[in-house]
Amino acid sequence: MAIVEWEKKGAVAVLSMNNGPNLQNLEFALAMCGALDAIVADQGVNAVVLTSTDPKFFSNGVDVNWLMGRFAAQEYQAVKDFCYGMNEVFKKLLIAPVPAIAAINGHAFGNGAIISCACDFRFMRSDKGFFCFPEVDLGIPFLPGMDAFIEKAIPHYKFNEMKLTGKRAGALELEAHHIIEKACPDLESLRQTVMEFAAGFSKKRGIFGEHKRRMHKHILRVMETEDREVVEALNLVAQG
Protein backbone atom coordinates (compact mmCIF):
# COMPACT_ATOMS: atom_id res chain seq x y z
CA MET A 1 0.00 0.00 0.00
CA ALA A 2 1.27 3.46 -0.87
CA ILE A 3 2.31 5.81 1.95
CA VAL A 4 -0.47 8.17 0.88
CA GLU A 5 -3.32 7.68 -1.57
CA TRP A 6 -6.22 9.82 -2.66
CA GLU A 7 -9.59 9.23 -4.23
CA LYS A 8 -12.45 11.42 -5.36
CA LYS A 9 -15.80 11.14 -3.70
CA GLY A 10 -17.96 13.44 -5.76
CA ALA A 11 -16.05 16.73 -5.82
CA VAL A 12 -14.13 15.93 -2.63
CA ALA A 13 -10.60 14.52 -2.72
CA VAL A 14 -9.94 12.26 0.26
CA LEU A 15 -6.21 12.12 0.91
CA SER A 16 -5.38 9.19 3.19
CA MET A 17 -2.16 8.55 5.07
CA ASN A 18 -1.70 4.77 5.01
CA ASN A 19 1.46 4.01 6.96
CA GLY A 20 0.29 3.03 10.45
CA PRO A 21 1.36 5.85 12.78
CA ASN A 22 2.17 7.85 9.63
CA LEU A 23 5.62 8.92 10.76
CA GLN A 24 6.97 11.75 8.66
CA ASN A 25 10.30 11.46 6.86
CA LEU A 26 11.61 12.51 3.45
CA GLU A 27 9.70 9.75 1.65
CA PHE A 28 6.49 10.87 3.34
CA ALA A 29 7.09 14.51 2.37
CA LEU A 30 7.69 13.64 -1.28
CA ALA A 31 4.60 11.41 -1.42
CA MET A 32 2.42 14.11 0.13
CA CYS A 33 3.69 16.76 -2.27
CA GLY A 34 2.95 14.53 -5.25
CA ALA A 35 -0.55 13.74 -4.06
CA LEU A 36 -1.41 17.37 -3.31
CA ASP A 37 -0.13 18.45 -6.73
CA ALA A 38 -2.34 15.84 -8.40
CA ILE A 39 -5.37 16.88 -6.35
CA VAL A 40 -4.98 20.58 -7.15
CA ALA A 41 -4.46 19.76 -10.84
CA ASP A 42 -7.87 18.05 -10.95
CA GLN A 43 -10.26 20.89 -11.72
CA GLY A 44 -13.18 18.75 -10.58
CA VAL A 45 -11.98 18.85 -6.96
CA ASN A 46 -13.72 21.44 -4.76
CA ALA A 47 -12.23 20.39 -1.39
CA VAL A 48 -9.58 18.07 0.03
CA VAL A 49 -9.93 16.03 3.22
CA LEU A 50 -6.74 14.86 4.92
CA THR A 51 -7.13 11.79 7.13
CA SER A 52 -5.59 8.43 8.04
CA THR A 53 -6.60 4.82 7.45
CA ASP A 54 -5.11 3.70 10.78
CA PRO A 55 -7.64 3.00 13.57
CA LYS A 56 -5.41 4.61 16.23
CA PHE A 57 -3.27 7.30 14.62
CA PHE A 58 -3.82 10.37 12.47
CA SER A 59 -0.06 10.99 12.49
CA ASN A 60 2.48 10.49 15.25
CA GLY A 61 4.73 13.19 13.79
CA VAL A 62 8.35 13.13 12.71
CA ASP A 63 10.06 9.79 12.16
CA VAL A 64 12.59 10.43 14.95
CA ASN A 65 14.57 7.25 14.29
CA TRP A 66 15.00 8.24 10.65
CA LEU A 67 15.94 11.80 11.58
CA MET A 68 18.45 10.84 14.27
CA GLY A 69 19.92 8.25 11.91
CA ARG A 70 20.58 10.94 9.31
CA PHE A 71 22.23 13.17 11.90
CA ALA A 72 24.35 10.28 13.20
CA ALA A 73 25.51 9.55 9.67
CA GLN A 74 26.14 13.28 9.10
CA GLU A 75 23.69 13.17 6.19
CA TYR A 76 22.72 16.77 6.74
CA GLN A 77 21.45 17.30 3.22
CA ALA A 78 18.82 14.60 3.73
CA VAL A 79 17.69 16.39 6.89
CA LYS A 80 17.50 19.69 5.02
CA ASP A 81 15.61 18.05 2.16
CA PHE A 82 13.12 16.70 4.70
CA CYS A 83 12.61 20.12 6.30
CA TYR A 84 12.14 21.79 2.93
CA GLY A 85 9.93 18.93 1.76
CA MET A 86 7.60 19.25 4.73
CA ASN A 87 7.52 23.00 4.27
CA GLU A 88 6.35 22.38 0.72
CA VAL A 89 3.56 20.18 2.08
CA PHE A 90 2.54 22.92 4.51
CA LYS A 91 2.65 25.59 1.79
CA LYS A 92 0.54 23.51 -0.58
CA LEU A 93 -2.13 23.18 2.11
CA LEU A 94 -1.87 26.86 3.06
CA ILE A 95 -2.40 28.17 -0.48
CA ALA A 96 -4.43 25.38 -2.11
CA PRO A 97 -7.24 26.98 -4.14
CA VAL A 98 -9.72 24.67 -2.42
CA PRO A 99 -10.43 24.19 1.29
CA ALA A 100 -8.09 21.77 3.08
CA ILE A 101 -9.90 19.95 5.88
CA ALA A 102 -8.23 17.71 8.47
CA ALA A 103 -10.30 14.76 9.71
CA ILE A 104 -8.32 13.83 12.82
CA ASN A 105 -9.29 10.22 13.44
CA GLY A 106 -6.72 9.39 16.13
CA HIS A 107 -3.57 10.64 17.83
CA ALA A 108 -2.06 13.77 16.26
CA PHE A 109 1.32 14.37 17.89
CA GLY A 110 4.04 16.85 16.93
CA ASN A 111 4.21 17.21 13.17
CA GLY A 112 0.94 15.29 12.99
CA ALA A 113 -0.78 18.08 14.89
CA ILE A 114 1.19 20.67 12.93
CA ILE A 115 0.11 19.38 9.52
CA SER A 116 -3.51 19.66 10.63
CA CYS A 117 -2.86 23.29 11.56
CA ALA A 118 -1.75 23.99 8.00
CA CYS A 119 -5.25 23.00 6.91
CA ASP A 120 -8.10 25.52 6.79
CA PHE A 121 -10.43 23.52 9.02
CA ARG A 122 -10.11 20.68 11.52
CA PHE A 123 -12.55 18.08 12.86
CA MET A 124 -11.72 15.36 15.39
CA ARG A 125 -13.36 12.35 16.98
CA SER A 126 -13.85 12.64 20.73
CA ASP A 127 -13.82 8.96 21.69
CA LYS A 128 -10.21 8.26 20.71
CA GLY A 129 -7.00 10.19 20.21
CA PHE A 130 -5.07 13.11 21.64
CA PHE A 131 -3.57 16.23 20.09
CA CYS A 132 -0.28 17.57 21.42
CA PHE A 133 3.11 19.16 20.78
CA PRO A 134 5.68 16.97 22.62
CA GLU A 135 8.67 18.75 21.08
CA VAL A 136 9.42 20.54 24.36
CA ASP A 137 10.09 17.13 25.96
CA LEU A 138 11.84 15.65 22.92
CA GLY A 139 14.25 18.56 22.56
CA ILE A 140 13.11 19.41 19.03
CA PRO A 141 12.49 23.11 18.24
CA PHE A 142 9.76 24.35 15.91
CA LEU A 143 10.72 26.13 12.73
CA PRO A 144 9.62 29.79 12.75
CA GLY A 145 7.10 29.13 9.99
CA MET A 146 5.44 26.45 12.09
CA ASP A 147 4.87 28.93 14.91
CA ALA A 148 3.41 31.35 12.36
CA PHE A 149 0.82 29.06 10.83
CA ILE A 150 -0.07 27.19 14.01
CA GLU A 151 -1.22 30.52 15.42
CA LYS A 152 -3.75 30.84 12.61
CA ALA A 153 -5.29 27.61 13.90
CA ILE A 154 -4.79 27.87 17.66
CA PRO A 155 -5.39 30.98 19.78
CA HIS A 156 -2.11 32.35 21.13
CA TYR A 157 -2.96 31.75 24.78
CA LYS A 158 -3.73 28.08 24.09
CA PHE A 159 -0.75 27.54 21.82
CA ASN A 160 1.48 29.06 24.50
CA GLU A 161 0.16 26.51 27.00
CA MET A 162 0.31 23.51 24.69
CA LYS A 163 3.73 24.27 23.24
CA LEU A 164 5.46 25.02 26.54
CA THR A 165 3.91 22.19 28.57
CA GLY A 166 3.56 19.47 25.94
CA LYS A 167 0.15 18.60 27.46
CA ARG A 168 -2.29 16.44 25.56
CA ALA A 169 -5.73 17.71 24.61
CA GLY A 170 -8.78 15.76 23.48
CA ALA A 171 -11.35 16.80 20.93
CA LEU A 172 -13.78 18.34 23.41
CA GLU A 173 -11.09 20.64 24.78
CA LEU A 174 -10.00 21.60 21.28
CA GLU A 175 -13.58 22.36 20.33
CA ALA A 176 -14.02 24.58 23.40
CA HIS A 177 -11.05 26.70 22.29
CA HIS A 178 -12.17 26.83 18.63
CA ILE A 179 -9.17 24.83 17.40
CA ILE A 180 -11.43 22.34 15.66
CA GLU A 181 -14.81 22.96 14.06
CA LYS A 182 -16.46 20.07 15.82
CA ALA A 183 -15.75 17.17 18.17
CA CYS A 184 -17.49 14.14 16.67
CA PRO A 185 -18.53 11.29 18.99
CA ASP A 186 -16.97 8.47 16.94
CA LEU A 187 -15.22 7.61 13.69
CA GLU A 188 -18.38 7.18 11.63
CA SER A 189 -19.72 10.51 12.82
CA LEU A 190 -16.37 12.16 12.01
CA ARG A 191 -16.39 10.80 8.47
CA GLN A 192 -19.98 11.78 7.82
CA THR A 193 -19.63 15.26 9.31
CA VAL A 194 -16.41 16.04 7.44
CA MET A 195 -17.71 14.80 4.09
CA GLU A 196 -20.91 16.81 4.44
CA PHE A 197 -18.89 19.90 5.33
CA ALA A 198 -16.46 19.38 2.44
CA ALA A 199 -19.23 18.70 -0.06
CA GLY A 200 -20.79 22.06 0.82
CA PHE A 201 -17.91 23.91 -0.86
CA SER A 202 -18.09 24.98 -4.47
CA LYS A 203 -16.08 28.20 -4.50
CA LYS A 204 -14.32 29.74 -7.48
CA ARG A 205 -10.73 28.58 -7.26
CA GLY A 206 -9.24 31.89 -8.33
CA ILE A 207 -10.73 33.99 -5.57
CA PHE A 208 -10.49 31.23 -2.95
CA GLY A 209 -6.79 30.74 -3.63
CA GLU A 210 -6.18 34.50 -3.66
CA HIS A 211 -7.90 34.88 -0.31
CA LYS A 212 -5.59 32.25 1.16
CA ARG A 213 -2.43 33.69 -0.41
CA ARG A 214 -3.21 37.15 0.98
CA MET A 215 -4.21 35.84 4.40
CA HIS A 216 -1.05 33.79 4.71
CA LYS A 217 1.50 35.98 2.96
CA HIS A 218 3.29 36.76 6.24
CA ILE A 219 3.52 33.02 7.00
CA LEU A 220 4.97 32.28 3.58
CA ARG A 221 7.49 35.08 4.05
CA VAL A 222 8.66 33.60 7.35
CA MET A 223 8.96 30.15 5.79
CA GLU A 224 11.02 31.48 2.89
CA THR A 225 13.39 33.60 5.00
CA GLU A 226 13.61 32.61 8.68
CA ASP A 227 13.04 28.90 8.08
CA ARG A 228 15.73 28.85 5.42
CA GLU A 229 18.24 30.44 7.79
CA VAL A 230 17.51 27.84 10.47
CA VAL A 231 17.58 24.86 8.09
CA GLU A 232 20.81 25.91 6.38
CA ALA A 233 22.50 26.13 9.78
CA LEU A 234 21.49 22.61 10.83
CA ASN A 235 24.82 20.97 10.08
CA LEU A 236 26.66 23.74 11.95
CA VAL A 237 24.42 23.23 14.99
CA ALA A 238 24.92 19.47 14.87
CA GLN A 239 28.68 19.79 14.57
CA GLY A 240 28.82 22.39 17.33
- The predicted pLDDT at position 1 comes to 75
What region does 178 belong to: left with phi over 0, alpha with psi -120 to 50, or beta?
left
Report how far residue 223's alpha carbon sits from residue 236's, in angstroms, rounded to the nearest whole number.
20
Report how far residue 113's alpha carbon sits from residue 160's, in angstroms, rounded to the nearest whole number.
15
User: β-strands 107-109, 12-17: how paired?
Assistant: unpaired
DSSP H helices, the chain, are 26-41, 64-72, 76-95, 111-117, 135-138, 144-153, 156-165, 171-176, 187-199, 205-215, 217-232, 234-239
13-43 pLDDT per residue, tens: 999 999 999 999 999 999 999 999 999 999 9
In this structure, how many other beta carbons lie within 10 angstroms of the beta carbon of residue 76? 18
* pTM for this predicted structure: 0.95
- The predicted pLDDT at position 130 comes to 98
Q: In what order do the strands lie in the sheet with 57-59?
A: 57-59, 107-109, 131-132
141-156 pLDDT per residue, tens: 999 999 999 999 999 9
User: In order of start, what are the domains of the chain with their CATH numbers?
Assistant: 4-189 (3.90.226.10)
Which residues of the chain fall short of a pLDDT of 70? Answer: 235-240
134: helix, strand or coil: coil
- The predicted pLDDT at position 234 comes to 83
